[in-house]
Amino acid sequence: MKLYHVIGAKQYDRQTLEDIYETADRMEKVVKNGGSDIYSNKIMTTLFFEPSTRTRLSFESAISRLGGKVIGTENAGQFSSATKGETLEDTIRVVSEYCDVIVMRHTDIGAAERAAAVATVPILNAGDGGGEHPTQALLDVYTIKKELGTLDNQHVVMVGDLKYGRTVHSLSYMLANYNNVHITFTAPDNVQIPLYVKEYLKERGISFSEEHDLKKAVQKADVIYQTRIQKERFSSPEEYEKANGKYIINDDILSYMKDHCIILHPLPRAGEIEHSVDADPRAAYFRQAQNGLYIRMALLEKCFEQERAETIRDYVNV
């Protein structure tokens, strides 16, 4: 049986993404109708080697809305087997026997791929260190699609920490599936987008540019993707404050934006979008968070649907 792993943003082509959007649309209707018990016999394990409350709760809500059950651990420091020297592969082999899908957050790049290599159930990567966070990227592109109707012909301005913020990397990879996309990178010099992301965009024929002036950048934008500047990355508090103060979205910035332009943010925020902005209809970040639920339900559906299809195929082959 081929398992439906979710490892990285590059595994998705345009058609696959469209299919996920449609499933997510359907999942929104399921939630609005009070949920379903279609997967009441399914168990999801949340294996979080580092805490990420929001992502974990979003996944736990997703399986619950489909009738399924959750087992898991919310903190790596408490995963006692790991502290006793067990390899990730051994852990995954054993935990595979306890459930029908594993949602994993890990501190190491590539951990999700290693897990998928030995797992007997699907692995959903909920972030692997400085690597990827594909379910976040999926909810980001889904939100753009839902808010603006299409991902083609969009001008996306990415703002803030573009170096360490893995969500902008994954989002860039996914945008590369669409036509006539332009990306503007607006970041302090020391946290600018990495060369390997730019190389990937070049290969895929996606145009991009850099713009240090946020006011200029937002004027042409259809989508502004704001991120949190992570204080700990800077060499001094002064340098951090300068960069941080430079790229705040407030009422003034709103006045430079197009009427249809949406503001996204992976959340949590810590001051880089002022609270006065929340009331503006272009502030889409809470709707975006809500879409995370539908996307994660859609991915779970894909995992189990696949299994159903394979079961039917086996049955037909017999």
Chain positions 184 to 243 lying near its own copies, rule: CB under 8 A, are 228
In the complex, minimum distance from the CB of residue 53 to its own copies, in angstroms, rounded to a whole number: 5
CB 121 within 8 A of CB 306: no
Nearest to 183 by CA among 219, 215, 217: 217
In the complex, minimum distance from the CB of residue 254 to its own copies, in angstroms, rounded to a whole number: 19
| One of 11, 78, 107, 179 touching its own copies (CB under 8 A) | 78
Angle at 151 between CA 163 and CA 143, to 5 degrees: 75
Nearer to its own copies, 86 or 152 (CB): 86
64: contact with its own copies by CB under 8 A: yes
As to burial, measured by CB atoms within 10 angstroms (0-12 exposed, 13-18 middle, 19+ buried), residue 197 is buried
Residue with token string 């059950």: 69
Residue 183: strand, helix, or coil: strand
| One of 15, 29, 80, 195 touching its own copies (CB under 8 A) | 80
| One of 6, 99, 174, 217 touching its own copies (CB under 8 A) | 99
Residue 125 CA: distances (Å) to CA of 8, 40, 76, 191: 8, 23, 15, 25
HEC assignment per residue over 226-276: ECCCCHHHCCCHHHHHHHHHHCCECHHHHCCCCCCCEEECCCCCCCCECHH
92: contact with its own copies by CB under 8 A: no
Contacts of 278 (CB under 8 A, 6+ apart): 286
Nearer to its own copies, 16 or 78 (CB): 78
Is 134 annotated among the ligand-binding residues?
Answer: no
- C-alpha span between 254 and 272 (Å, rounded): 13
| One of 12, 20, 24, 73 touching its own copies (CB under 8 A) | 73
How many alpha carbons fall within 13 Å on the CB side of residue 136? 28
Nearest to 9 by CA among 242, 200, 154, 190: 200
Nearest to 27 by CA among 146, 137, 120, 110: 146
| One of 20, 27, 65, 223 touching its own copies (CB under 8 A) | 65
| One of 3, 14, 28, 51 touching its own copies (CB under 8 A) | 51
164: contact with its own copies by CB under 8 A: no
90: contact with its own copies by CB under 8 A: yes
Chain positions 235 to 294 lying near its own copies, rule: CB under 8 A, are 267-271, 275, 286, 289-290, 293
Nearer to its own copies, 2 or 84 (CB): 84
List the structure tokens of 184: 């503007």
Is 84 annotated among the ligand-binding residues?
Answer: yes
List the structure tokens of 235: 């060499």
Is 267 annotated among the ligand-binding residues?
Answer: yes
Catalytic residues: 54-55, 84, 105, 133
Mask of contacts with its own copies, 20-39, x by CB under 8 A? --------------xx-x--
Q: Can you say which residues are annotated as belonging to the binding site for L-aspartate?
A: 84, 166, 228
Q: Can you say which residues are annotated as belonging to the binding site for carbamoyl phosphate?
A: 54-55, 105, 133, 136, 267-268
Q: Can you say which residues are annotated as belonging to the binding site?
A: 54-55, 84, 105, 133, 136, 166, 228, 267-268
Residues that bind its own copies (CB under 8 A): 34-35, 37, 40-41, 43, 45, 51-54, 56-58, 60-61, 64-65, 69-75, 78-81, 84-87, 90-91, 93-95, 97-99, 228, 267-271, 275, 286, 289-290, 293
